[in-house]
Amino acid sequence: MAPSLEDTTTDTSAAGVDDELAAVKSRVTVVGSGNWGSVASKLIASNTLNLHSFHDEVRMWVFEEILPTGEKLSEIINRTNENVKYLPGIKLGKNVVADPDLENAVRDANMLVFVTPHQFMEGICKRIVGKIRNDAEAISLIKGMEVKKEGPCMISSLISDQLGINCCVLMGANIANEIAVEKFSEATVGYRKNKEMADKWVQLFNTSYFMVSAVQDVEGVELCGTLKNVVAIAAGFVDGLDMGNNTKAAIMRIGLREMKAFSKLLFPSVKDTTFFESCGVADLITTCLGGRNRKCAEAFARNGGKRSFDELEAEMLQGQKLQGVSTAKELYEVLSHQGWLERFPLFSTVHKICIGHLPPAAIVEYTKP
Amino acid sequence: MAPSLEDTTTDTSAAGVDDELAAVKSRVTVVGSGNWGSVASKLIASNTLNLHSFHDEVRMWVFEEILPTGEKLSEIINRTNENVKYLPGIKLGKNVVADPDLENAVRDANMLVFVTPHQFMEGICKRIVGKIRNDAEAISLIKGMEVKKEGPCMISSLISDQLGINCCVLMGANIANEIAVEKFSEATVGYRKNKEMADKWVQLFNTSYFMVSAVQDVEGVELCGTLKNVVAIAAGFVDGLDMGNNTKAAIMRIGLREMKAFSKLLFPSVKDTTFFESCGVADLITTCLGGRNRKCAEAFARNGGKRSFDELEAEMLQGQKLQGVSTAKELYEVLSHQGWLERFPLFSTVHKICIGHLPPAAIVEYTKP
């Protein structure tokens, strides 16, 4: 079991008041310790140290790995305050405590931050259900989600349903490594009803270089995070075809419009204004400027579609798979199932190009409104 | 006087019907023949040839110049169908007739397309007032506008007021040279009341590679075209400071938000949805990816603000001046006059950086919401 970290802040107020405060202070656990999870822990840890309404300690669940040196990842993190594997060179803060025991990590927390690959979430929920506090609140930072035939399986809903707790989301133009070195960035918290809780999440994440704001639109915020990867594939095709900035901007705009239309068809509560937030237009821009989806799609188009995405991913991503390609496939199934293919020419064309049924140049020919 | 071009289309219908049709056919004149004016003429000319509701001939007013060969620009255009000076290598269409005589060019037209540098418009209006058809309709493609202390002087209003005619606008992510080679692009027509007229403008401009749609929001569309240049300066600073894509996307998003807020403060009729159109988010993206404003601002930041914009413009733009720098100055005066400086941190900071009152890095420090 990981060591516990006692509050080290000293208060000028009386000891009795301190005890009372300690009882109502929130305890935060971050479930996940990859690249983004480590950066999230760093952001949170800098705030819990300074804000009296939180316990200093931030517990971070680490999926244990034995490193080539023979040492355990969680032990190195606790010794060096650094996630040497997923965020080397960045100090997380001394109040981040790595814990390889999932159940132990979540037991005392009333604020649970989920930031794992999306395919692990169902298993994690099964392991911790009934073992968390009754008053726990959750937030999901998980950008990928499964899109099933009948519609997307929202990770926030999965968490809410499986654990019986409320779940917000945090999305945005967030390249983890840029935030790790404290470059200015923004993010959006999506919440369902409880504005006070949303404000508390904002307080927990917001720093001088990471500006967070809250909107009452969980589904809108969460869908942005997934759908933008499909648009990034389209933008990559345009880059690979050397069609210029006009065309790229047009394709991004049409993509944003399809993101909005699709989200609103599935969830009529989704708000137009959400797409002006960091999770919307800003994340779309970041993903279409840099990002793996755009890059591999550019290579795909440069090769005239003659080398498959599987081949390019193997070569360019060291075995990782592109979110955008699989989301485009899942999305196509939804559109087809719902009879919406013609209403979403960009989404459907991206999939047809990815599987080789259309040439890359179709991204413009078939997407025109 | 320039030669006249007779309709060469033959109709299978009876001659009497042809005469009647000819009487109601619209006649188009393009006032302006620079880079964008020439591309606009090409777009229009391909449509008037195919659509029976327009006369084939597109008259294009040319500000006469004598080229180094001794030939007149208008004569070369009429001989070669090419604007050798401002759009070399592109055929405009045989039905484009260059006319150096402004009054003659506009006399018979009932559809006037204005596409000149904005500072010429007042003089042009003075020259043609009272010399145009009573039923003439106008559209402005002019992106720059003057922003006076009391607010922007909209070019569409100038045209409407001075000529006593209705004026729409057409804006969008429109890099003229990319449209000239028929790369896919979009544009937005803004209209005030007359939807039928807006549809006619759409018909006149829309081609398979230039997709135009209409929104009832003249001011919103027109303001996008001007304000985006200020945001592009901000984006250029971020590039010059090597702050990465996250920060750039955040600054672009904040810029879009200020564009929207400013436009709505000045004209409460401005619609949120306009900013999702090509004139909004797409034009902003194009301008912040490429574009002179972005490029010079990047150079400015790389030099730590030690070389002035005047100097950089002279070096990088062959004597042309940056729209964004002067718009930022004018905008600052409006904000200051109205007491809105604090509500528009990005707009005001761009100006302060341009004049050397703040360092380039302030674009992030001072812009945070």
Q: To the nearest whole angstrom, how far is the Cα of B349 from the nearest Cα of chain A? A: 16
Which of A213, A247, A286 lies nearest to residue B183, judging by beta carbons? A247
For testing contact with chain A, the best of B174, B238, B253, B278 (most A CBs within 10 A): B253
Q: To the nearest whole angstrom, how far is the Cα of A332 from the nearest Cα of chain B? A: 24
Contacts of A247 in chain B (CB under 8 A): 178, 183-185
Which of A178, A247, A282 lies nearest to residue B253, judging by beta carbons? A282
Q: Does A242 touch chain B (CB under 8 A)?
A: no
Give the model confidence (pLDDT) of A353-369 as tens digits: 999 999 999 999 888 76
Phi, psi of B68 (to 5 degrees): -55, -30
Residue B319, pLDDT score: 67
Q: To the nearest whole angstrom, how far is the Cα of B15 from the nearest Cα of chain A? A: 38
Mark the ranges of chain A whose per-residue pLDDT is less than 50: 1-2, 6-13
Q: Which residue of A has its CA nearest to B260?
A: A276
Inter-chain CB proximity A286 and B249 less than 8 Å:
yes
Inter-chain CB proximity B369 and A211 less than 8 Å:
yes
Neighbouring residues of A326: CB distance < 8 A, sequence distance ≥ 6 = none
Q: B107: how many CB neighbours lie within 10 A of its CB?
A: 17
Distance separating alpha carbons of residues A231 and A233, to the nearest angstrom: 5
Question: Which 3 state secondary structure label does DSSP give B334?
Answer: helix
Distance separating alpha carbons of residues A213 and A205, to the nearest angstrom: 10
Distance separating alpha carbons of residues A278 and B247, to the nearest angstrom: 11
Residue A21, pLDDT score: 61
Contacts of A188 in chain B (CB under 8 A): none
Inter-chain CB proximity A286 and B175 less than 8 Å:
no
Contacts of A258 in chain B (CB under 8 A): none
Chain mean pLDDT for chain A:
92
Structure-token pair, residue A59: 């517990």
Contacts of A360 in chain B (CB under 8 A): none
Q: Does A184 touch chain B (CB under 8 A)?
A: yes
Contacts of A186 in chain B (CB under 8 A): 250, 253-254
Pairing state between β B146-148 and B151-153: antiparallel
Contacts of A206 in chain B (CB under 8 A): none
Structure-token pair, residue B4: 């006249």
Residue B191, pLDDT score: 98
In terms of C-beta density within 10 A (0-12 exposed, 13-18 middle, 19 or more buried), how is residue B193 classed? exposed
CA dihedral over B331, B337, B340, B345, signed as positive or negative: positive
Inter-chain CB proximity B248 and A283 less than 8 Å:
no
Residue A291, pLDDT score: 85
For testing contact with chain A, the best of B246, B264, B293 (most A CBs within 10 A): B246
Give the model confidence (pLDDT) of A299-329 as tens digits: 999 999 999 999 998 889 876 778 899 999 9
The active-site residue out of B200, B228, B248, B271 is: B228
Provide the 8-state DSSP code for A66.
B
A220-365, superfamily in CATH?
N-(1-d-carboxylethyl)-l-norvaline Dehydrogenase; domain 2 (1.10.1040.10)
Residue holding tokens 């006032």? Answer: B31
Contacts of B282 in chain A (CB under 8 A): 249-250, 252-253
Q: To the nearest whole angstrom, how far is the Cα of A203 from the nearest Cα of chain B? A: 15
Structure-token pair, residue A99: 């814990």
Residue B93, pLDDT score: 97
Where is the binding site, in residues of A?
A: 32-37, 63, 120, 143, 176, 292-293, 321, 323
| Alpha-carbon dihedral angle through residues B325, B330, B334, B340, given to the nearest 10 degrees | 10
Distance separating alpha carbons of residues B62 and B59, to the nearest angstrom: 9
Where is the binding site, in residues of B?
A: 32-37, 63, 120, 143, 176, 292-293, 321, 323
Distance separating alpha carbons of residues A366 and A232, to the nearest angstrom: 17
CATH 3.40.50.720 region(s) of chain B?
5-216
pTM across the whole model: 0.91
Pairing state between β A167-171 and A137-140: parallel
Question: Which 3 state secondary structure label does DSSP give B79?
Answer: helix
Distance separating alpha carbons of residues A192 and A169, to the nearest angstrom: 10
Phi, psi of B293 (to 5 degrees): -60, -50
In terms of C-beta density within 10 A (0-12 exposed, 13-18 middle, 19 or more buried), how is residue B144 classed? middle
Structure-token pair, residue A155: 């990770």
Inter-chain CB proximity B282 and A252 less than 8 Å:
yes
Q: What is the secondary structure of B235-302 as a DSSP string?
A: HHHHHHTT-HHHHHHHHHHHHHHHHHHHHHHH-TT--GGGGGSIIIIIHHHHHHHSSHHHHHHHHHHH
Structure-token pair, residue A26: 């929130």
Contacts of B178 in chain A (CB under 8 A): 244-247
Contacts of B202 in chain A (CB under 8 A): none
A94 noted as active-site residue:
no
Inter-chain CB proximity A257 and B276 less than 8 Å:
yes
Distance separating alpha carbons of residues A368 and B34, to the nearest angstrom: 28
Residue A317, pLDDT score: 81
Q: To the nearest whole angstrom, how far is the Cα of B228 from the nearest Cα of chain A? A: 14
Neighbouring residues of B285: CB distance < 8 A, sequence distance ≥ 6 = A245, A248, A249, A252, A253, A285, B173, B252
Q: Which CATH class is domain B5-216?
A: alpha beta
What A122-125 contacts at long range (C-beta under 8 Å, 24+ apart), as own/partner pairs, is: A122/A158, A122/A162, A124/A31, A125/A158, A125/A159, A125/A162, A125/A163
CA A287 to chain centre: 13
Q: Does A80 touch chain B (CB under 8 A)?
A: no
The active-site residue out of A228, A248, A260, A295 is: A228
Question: Which 3 state secondary structure label does DSSP give A146?
Answer: strand
The answer to whether A117 and A36 have CB atoms below 8 angstroms apart is: no
Q: How far is CA A144 from CA A154, A300, B136, in A?
A: 9, 22, 54
Inter-chain CB proximity A183 and B246 less than 8 Å:
yes
Q: Does A272 touch chain B (CB under 8 A)?
A: yes
Question: Which 3 state secondary structure label does DSSP give A329?
Answer: helix
CA dihedral over A149, A150, A151, A157, signed as positive or negative: negative
Phi, psi of A164 (to 5 degrees): 65, 30
Inter-chain CB proximity B246 and A289 less than 8 Å:
no
Provide the 8-state DSSP code for A9.
-
Amino acid at site B312: L
CA A174 to chain centre: 8
Inter-chain CB proximity B244 and A272 less than 8 Å:
no
Q: Does A318 touch chain B (CB under 8 A)?
A: no
Which of B183, B208, B364 lies nearest to residue A244, judging by beta carbons? B183
Of the candidates A4, A11, A83, A30, the residue with the CA atom closest to the CA atom of residue A204: A30
Where is the binding site for NAD(+), in residues of B?
A: 32-37, 63, 120, 176, 292, 321, 323
How high is the ipTM of this complex? 0.90
Mark the ranges of chain B whose per-residue pLDDT is less than 70: 1-23, 319, 369
| Alpha-carbon dihedral angle through residues A4, A6, A8, A10, given to the nearest 10 degrees | 170
Amino acid at site A124: I
CATH 1.10.1040.10 region(s) of chain A?
220-365
Size of interface A-B (CB pairs under 8 A): 140
Inter-chain CB proximity A244 and B178 less than 8 Å:
yes
Q: A139: how many CB neighbours lie within 10 A of its CB?
A: 29
Distance separating alpha carbons of residues B155 and B121, to the nearest angstrom: 8
Contacts of B277 in chain A (CB under 8 A): 253
Inter-chain CB proximity B285 and A178 less than 8 Å:
no
Distance separating alpha carbons of residues B324 and B233, to the nearest angstrom: 6
Amino acid at site A141: L
Q: A24: how many CB neighbours lie within 10 A of its CB?
A: 8
Inter-chain CB proximity B246 and A179 less than 8 Å:
yes
Which of B179, B250, B256 lies nearest to residue A184, judging by beta carbons? B250
Q: Which residue of A has its CA nearest to B369?
A: A211
Q: To the nearest whole angstrom, how far is the Cα of A122 from the nearest Cα of chain B? A: 30
Structure-token pair, residue B303: 């030099």
